[in-house]
Amino acid sequence: MRILYFSSHPNIPLNSKSGPGTHMREIIAGFRAEGHEVQTLIMGGNSEEQESGEQAPTTASPIKRLGKKLLPTVLWESIKDQRLNRFDAHCAQELRRVCETFKADIIYERGYFSMLSGVNTAKELGIFHALEMNAPYPEEKVQMEGKGLFHHKAIAAEREQCLKTDLLLVVSSALKRYFIERTGVAENKVLITPNAVNPKYLSKTLSKEAARAAFNWSNEDLVFGFVGSIFPYHGVDKLIEAFALLKCENKKLLIVGGGELLPQYKQRVEELGISNLVVFTGAVPHQHVYNLISAMDIAMMADSNWYGSPVKIFEYGALGKAVIAPNTEPVLDVMKNMQDGILCKNNIPDILSAMSQLQEDEMLRAQLAVSWQEKVLKYHNWRVVSQNIIEQIRVLKTT
């Protein structure tokens, strides 16, 4: 099949080292590995060649920073929404232009907030449309940035996106239920495709001994670890508090990632008197993350949002680590408690209990690690995700 992979997001290029950039590249690579011809139209930047080194963080222009500071949130967000609507019209023009020369059988779209160019163009041209929606975007935008005057239009656009597409792809059963209830999309039109890993990167990873050498840790140390952004919704604060209470002489804690709360958490570690037991790496390039996970015995994620499929639990599993993960619906979609890991609520007693259980039972650690690793490598790799998507498209195209 001829697949046109389309993303209307104005700020995420195909070569981005962020999670969305990786997701786009891996799905595209999976389609191509299955023998399909893929043309890309990525409005944030269409180059597939990854840049060397870590990408510099983008900073807003002085005018934007001043506008955001001086204008009320509702007005600032409304201006942004209007600009996005104008950009969506430009996206539609570009998409039609590409479709004139690339006769696609499928337009596969990575959906975004309030953007209708993909689904409308596909309907106008009579092309099968698959829509990947990785978040409840209007709700997410209100939580992260604020509510604009056109919020009702964004909700209406979300409904139109879901009802017009031929196949809706989501990362969790929670998100599937949300879209069915919110938009009325037919259940048989929705496919759950949790996140995944690419096993080919595992062969380059350091051994546990080599990974620990940088911290002067030995194999006798019991290393707990977390990888991710240091934001409130990941529960790193409770993880630190539980670790401080854990009765274990050789315990260590490795926290990998940067974020707005990092200085606050470093100060709390000082107050708890455990600075000699905790290492904060700050933000690191993704190519180094696997080596840092290798240093861990028990990899943790204390909390996550209600709808997302946390990539880190799959990376932990692929590297053969015993996992403590949040007892959320997206995690329950893929993991079984006490079979693939220990799933706990986001509170200090539950997290401490899980840590104590794994600290005391080395055999349980090994059993959980092996079970989850086997499942991740077999079912949660990007090639399998791409195959599942293509299979569902074929079913829908023939019915």
Cα separation, 153 vs 147, in Å, equals: 12
* Domain co-membership, 192 together with 245: no
Decide which of 62 and 297 is more confident.
297
- What end-to-end distance do the CA atoms of the chain give, in Å? 17
* Domain co-membership, 182 together with 98: yes
* Domain co-membership, 118 together with 185: yes
Residue 60 falls inside a structural domain: no
329 pLDDT band (50/70/90 cuts)?
A: very high
Residue 370 falls inside a structural domain: yes
Residue 59 falls inside a structural domain: no
Judge contact between 321 and 224, C-beta under 8 A: no
Mean local confidence (pLDDT), 290-295: 96
* Domain co-membership, 223 together with 186: no
Judge contact between 167 and 129, C-beta under 8 A: yes
Mean local confidence (pLDDT), 206-233: 93
For residue 343, pLDDT over 50 is answered with: yes
Residue 263 falls inside a structural domain: yes
Query: Which pLDDT value is given to residue 61?
Result: 63
The 10 Å Cβ neighbour count of residue 382 is 22
Q: For residue 260, what is the domain's CATH number?
A: 3.40.50.2000
Judge contact between 214 and 292, C-beta under 8 A: no
Query: Which pLDDT value is given to residue 144?
Result: 87
The 10 Å Cβ neighbour count of residue 232 is 11
Decide which of 259 and 349 is more confident.
349
182: Cβ contacts below 8 Å, ≥ 6 apart? 136, 155, 158, 159
Cα separation, 204 vs 102, in Å, equals: 37
- Structural domain for 296, as ranges: 199-379
Cα separation, 142 vs 73, in Å, equals: 10
| DSSP track, 40-106 | EEETT----SPPSSPPPPP---HHHHHHHHHS-HHHHHHHHHHHHHHHHHHHHHHHHHHHHHS--SE
* Domain co-membership, 212 together with 261: yes
For residue 184, pLDDT over 60 is answered with: yes
Query: In the chain, at which residue ranges do the beta strands (DSSP E only) sit?
Result: 2-7, 37-42, 106-110, 128-132, 167-170, 190-192, 222-227, 251-256, 278-282, 298-300, 322-326, 342-344
Residue 104 falls inside a structural domain: yes
Query: Which pLDDT value is given to residue 55?
Result: 44
* Domain co-membership, 181 together with 216: no
pLDDT tens per residue across span 57-107: 445 567 666 667 778 899 999 999 999 999 999 999 999 999 999 999 999
* Domain co-membership, 213 together with 264: yes
Residue 61 falls inside a structural domain: no
For residue 51, pLDDT over 60 is answered with: no
pLDDT tens per residue across span 136-177: 999 999 998 999 999 999 999 999 999 999 999 999 999 999
Please tell me the least confidently modeled range out of 52-61, 80-89, 241-250. Answer: 52-61
Mean local confidence (pLDDT), 258-263: 91
For residue 53, pLDDT over 80 is answered with: no
* Domain co-membership, 215 together with 192: no
Q: Helix or strand or coil: residue 324?
A: strand
Structure token pair of residue 109? 């779209």
* Domain co-membership, 227 together with 287: yes
The 10 Å Cβ neighbour count of residue 194 is 21
* Domain co-membership, 349 together with 326: yes
For residue 288, pLDDT over 60 is answered with: yes
Query: Which pLDDT value is given to residue 11?
Result: 94
For residue 348, pLDDT over 60 is answered with: yes
Q: What type of residue sits at position 16?
A: S
